Amino acid sequence: MAEALASYKEEIQAINITFAAYETSDRPNFYDHYEHYTGSLPYGPYATNDIIGGRLITRSTIQNNVTGLISVFKDTISTTGIPTTSLRINGIAANVTHSRVGNHVGSNAVLPAWRDSLYWLNVDIGIEAAASREKIHQIQAQVNAFQDQFKVLTPGGGSYMNEATFDNPTWDEDYYGENYDQLLEVKLSYDPNFVLYAHRSVGSDLMTVASDGRLYKDL
């Protein structure tokens, strides 16, 4: 592993970035690897009570505005009122460009912002099991604010909806992009009565959830 990462380490050091910690190791199997780096088996270290937001970070953002990105990182981790142990920021890299996967623009319904992304960024805050409704709403508002800050840095981009805020007012633009209108046509063609419904799914804004939880279609 050290040999595989050697060139990466050299490049990081060449731009005067100092590692706070650096460790490589080889494990005989995935279980041992997971236990060493993650621990807390069999349930893992992560609480199920958290609120997550996120944004796809584009290559152009890294190339042209990395200073702005780092500034938002710093603002996020220094937000008052949030214990540092409750706040987590992480990025997951994936190359899903058209040239990499072998398709072209419009060939499927994948959010176009994925094709230009360098990685997807998550920001989440853990919630105490006994947290009050007021506290949960406060944290939800804060995560939305975090997500909006990263949105400013990635104009025309989007978010991976499965790991983004559920009450984002621009969800259709951010989670489906330019595909939304065409996807809505497909939805109305095959399911005009909305037998299938999910919060923030295509066409969900044509439905209303009543105060008693019942769902009805807007006329």
**Domain edges within the chain:** 1-45, 47-177
Tell me the per-residue pLDDT of 178-208, one tens digit each, with 9 for 90 and over.
999 999 999 999 999 999 999 999 999 999 9
Question: Do 108 and 176 form a contact (C-beta atoms < 8 A)?
Answer: no
Q: Is the distance from CB of 72 to CB of 150 less than 8 angstroms?
A: yes
Parallel, antiparallel, or unpaired for β 87-93 and 50-58?
unpaired
| Dihedral sign computed on CA atoms, order 190, 158, 123, 63 | positive
List, for residues 124-135, the tens digit of each pLDDT value.
998 888 889 999
Closest CA to 170 of 152, 189, 195: 152
Q: Please state which of the ranges 12-26, 78-92, 162-176 shows the lowest mean pLDDT.
A: 78-92
- 141-177 pLDDT, tens per residue? 999 999 999 999 999 899 999 999 999 999 999 999 9
Q: What is the pLDDT of residue 219?
A: 67
